[in-house]
């Protein structure tokens, strides 16, 4: 059996990575498992523990770093986020594709660490900075200070797209998802 792909989906905060990922998982018949990250960020109202994230204290996060439990981890606007490594390889060996939704530094780390050729990476690009800002604001989950920090960080991230295999414009969720799925299917078929 062919090993499943490791799919990296990055892009600035607010670009709609989660929406695109859910659209792909709901509308296409691909064997994709979402890798649930661990974070120290406070849980948002609509988020579910163990579905969106594993929400942990800074101490618990540190214990996981010390125990070498992460494939990668990063600090993002004052909180820590990490990809638990236990399930990633196990699922890929079963032929399932594992999707990581992570920011650019973590994405770079994964790309340099996981050196097999069944990795495919995407950077999801907003149609404009205005669109990005209005999406973050619409979420109504962050303070003004954090919104500004996330936008600044997003602008920097948008200059770091060279490390990705594909840059996909999120002008429309269905269209962007279709583009990503086509590229995943092509890659899955390759040797």
Q: Which C-beta is closer to ligand 5GP: that of 28 or that of 54?
A: 54
What the block records as the tokens of 16 is 């709609």
| Minimum CB distance to ligand 5GP, residue 46 (Å) | 12
- Alpha-carbon distance of 56 to 49, in angstroms, equals 10
- DSSP for residue 44: P
- Residue 17 lies near ligand 5GP (rule: CB under 6 A): yes
Nearer to ligand 5GP, 5 or 100 (CB): 100
Q: What's the first-to-final CA gap in the chain, in angstroms?
A: 12
Partners of 120 in beta bridges: 7
Q: Whole-number minimum distance, CB 73 to ligand 5GP, in Å?
A: 6
Counting contacts by CB under 6 A, is residue 21 touching ligand 5GP?
A: no
Residue in the block written with tokens 């495919």: 120
- Binding region for ligand 5GP (CB under 6 A) out of 21-29, 74-82, 115-123, 124-132: 74-82
Number of residues counted as binding ligand 5GP (CB under 6 A): 14
By the rule CB under 6 A, 13 interacts with ligand 5GP? yes
Q: Which of 34, 112, 41, 119 is nearest to 72 (CA)?
A: 112
3-state SS class at 51: coil
Enumerate residues 22-41 that contact ligand 5GP by CB under 6 A.
37, 41
Residues of span 124-153 touching ligand 5GP by CB under 6 A: none
Rounded CA-CA distance 156/179 in Å is 24
The residue of the chain with the least Cβ separation from ligand 5GP equals 106
154 binding ligand 5GP? (CB under 6 A): no
Q: What are phi and psi of 95, to 5 degrees?
A: 90, 5
What are the C-alpha distances in Å from 153 to residues 108, 127, 167? 16, 17, 18
Binding ligand 5GP by CB under 6 A: which of 4, 16, 106, 126? 106
Interacting residue ranges for ligand 5GP, rule: CB under 6 A: 13, 17, 37, 41, 72, 74, 76, 81-83, 101-103, 106
């Amino acid at each position: 059996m062919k090993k499943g792909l490791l799919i990296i989906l990055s892009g600035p905060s607010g670009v709609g990575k989660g929406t695109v990922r859910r659209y792909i998982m709901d509308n296409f018949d691909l064997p994709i498992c979402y890798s649930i990250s661990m974070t120290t960020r406070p849980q948002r109202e609509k988020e579910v523990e163990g579905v969106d994230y594993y929400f942990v204290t800074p101490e618990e996060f540190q214990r996981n770093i010390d125990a070498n439990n992460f494939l990668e981890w990063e600090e993002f606007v004052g909180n820590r986020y990490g990809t638990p490594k236990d399930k990633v390889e196990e699922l890929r060996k079963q032929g399932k594709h594992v999707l990581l939704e992570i920011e650019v530094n973590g994405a770079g780390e994964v790309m340099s660490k996981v050196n097999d050729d069944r990795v495919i990476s995407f950077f999801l690009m907003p149609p404009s900075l205005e669109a990005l800002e209005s999406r973050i604001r619409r979420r109504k989950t962050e303070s003004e200070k954090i919104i500004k920090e996330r936008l600044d960080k997003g602008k920097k991230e948008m200059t770091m797209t060279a490390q990705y295999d594909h840059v996909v414009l999120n002008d429309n969720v269905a269209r962007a998802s279709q583009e990503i799925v086509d590229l995943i299917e092509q890659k899955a078929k390759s040797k």
